[in-house]
Structure 1
Amino acid sequence: MPRKLISFDWAIKKILRSKANFGILEGFLSELLFTEIRILEVLESESNQDKGFDKYNRVDIKVIDADQQIIIIEIQYLRELDYLQRILFASAKTISEHLTEGAAYAEVSKVISVNILYFDFGKGDDYIYHGTTHFIGMHNHSVLELSEDQKKLYKAEKIADIYPEYYLIEVKNFNDIAKDSLDEWVYFLKNEQIKENFTARGLRQAKETLDVLKMNERERHAYEYHQEQLHYEASMYESSYIAAKLEGKAEGKAEGKAEGKAEGKAEGILITAKNMKQAEIPVTTIAKVTGLSIAQIEVL
């Protein structure tokens, strides 16, 4: 049976920031993007620093590759209804952070946003989604192309190459059958194991580097606590979400009017916030999830 390996979120937080371990991250990105990726360095900003509340929500790492592309990798465990807007904001913020004051717009960095999701997201039957930008004619439906001068200016072949790209990996939707090398990586992301016959780039090094048994006792205790917290918080969040949804729905149905539905929904949100507060989830995280103000949450 394959050995238990360190989860990808912990690896990004503690291990993959080291240049000696770039090969693991390069392998994953090369398989996902279907091109050879070579990481030059890890970039730091407010969005990917190691802060105390990270475990409640996400883990970020931001790197730049040999082609000067900026790649954001984000791991999300808890349900977040406005997640699409958040990744849009993150890519826009990254662009603004890395455009030198006074520089021409042609210097805007290419941003690739890779999102590994451990919750049910949207409606769809696939487990990997890719989003790009295209301009389509309203009358003849033709795709707008770059001119030859623009291709030289941007060093790109098409408009989608200069705009942000988004990858959504819905881990829970994967059926554990690895049909190709990218699937082998998704299998690892879901199961924290690598089978003997897997050959995807980066997995051999991951198998050697991310072996839980190679941790010292202090590291292993910290890792086990991290895993327990993730399970507990996910369970509490899902329970609160379902309870709030049911109670809000029941309240609205009893009223039989739009006003009753609105009150039920509001009550459900308060229940969610109260349960999350009892689970000692930070007030700032509760506010982000529920839309309530910090003042409203503190009086619950």
Structure 2
Amino acid sequence: MEEQNKYIRFDWAMKRLLRDKANFSVLEGLLTTLLNEKITINKLLESESNQEDEYDKQNRVDLLAENDKGELFIIEVQNNTEYAYFQRMLFGTSKLITEYINRGQGYDHIRKIYSVNIVYFNLGNGTDVVYHGKTEFRGIHNGELLNLTPFQRQKFNVTAVSDLYPEYYILKVNDFNKWSKVPLEQWIYFLNTGDIPSDATAPGLKEAREKLRLER
């Protein structure tokens, strides 16, 4: 790869360049591709919570964003092997839930949270490169999916119980080095190799090509 086609590592850019509102389009492109719906970031939020006391564990994440619907996005990049990373993901969303609801508010004020985890190590035992986790309740006897009532759907403006709970995405990018016409696979390729071929079509990669060029 020629020098003029090299790009800044995504984790470095996320801690610095992508915090600039002018560069939100890169993050929006990644989230839009991953969730398969248009995501518009309104602002970035403080990503380190205050400790209640000296024994309270802090919640420090790489990046915390809020979209135009008030939903929260935790974006983490993990380079080193961490055997308890699944629990770390759970802690991150759980802590955030409690931070963004005030004492005295009803539970209907709990925010929707997406946890996006870009990992550069072999997390768990699986062969796919992208995993999605969400919460559903099914009947033990008949396997029936527990749904919301019409009133709840109208009240919360969602269609399923899982829409009320945090959702998790794991991108295992370390071994993916095949260029593809599939937008999500294009993003995985970029996250692993740092290369953006000229025929990239995934949302956000065109902006990344301009904003993350190494020579700049």
Please give the TM-score of this superposition, normalised by the length of structure 1.
Answer: 0.66
State which of 136, 139, 144 in structure 2 corresponds to 1:137.
139
Aligned to 2:161: 159
Per-residue deviation, residues 247-283 of structure 1 (Å, max 9, x unmatched): xxxxxxxxxxxxxxxxxxxxxxxxxxxxxxxxxxxxx
- Contact 2:32-2:203 within 8 A present in 1 as well: yes
Deviation at 1:59, TM superposition (A): 6.2
Q: Does 1:118 find its partner at 2:120?
A: yes
Aligned to 2:25: 23
Opposite residue 153 of structure 2, the aligned amino acid is K
Alpha-carbon spacing, 1:175–1:207, altered in 2? closer, same or farther (3 Å): closer
Please tell me whether Structure 1 or Structure 2 has the larger radius of gyration of its CA atoms. Answer: 1
Aligned to 1:213: 215
Q: Does 1:105 find its partner at 2:107?
A: yes
Deviation at 1:175, TM superposition (A): 4.2
Q: Does 1:69 find its partner at 2:71?
A: yes
Residue-pair matches, total: 204
Aligned to 1:191: 193
Give me the CA root mean square deviation.
1.3
CA distance in 2, matches of 1:137, 1:28: 35
Opposite residue 173 of structure 2, the aligned amino acid is V
What fraction of aligned residue pairs are identical, expressed as a percent? 44
**Helix, strand or coil: the match of 1:187?**
helix
Opposite residue 157 of structure 2, the aligned amino acid is K
Which ranges of structure 1 fall in alignment gaps of 5 or more residues?
A: 48-57, 215-300
Opposite residue 25 of structure 1, the aligned amino acid is L
CA distance in 2, matches of 1:179, 1:86: 33
**Helix, strand or coil: the match of 1:172?**
coil
Aligned to 1:287: none
**Helix, strand or coil: the match of 2:19?**
coil
**Helix, strand or coil: the match of 2:174?**
helix
CA distance in 2, matches of 1:13, 1:59: 10
- Contact 2:48-2:61 within 8 A present in 1 as well: no
Which ranges of structure 2 fall in alignment gaps of 5 or more residues?
A: 50-59
**Helix, strand or coil: the match of 1:201?**
coil
- Contact 1:15-1:21 within 8 A present in 2 as well: yes
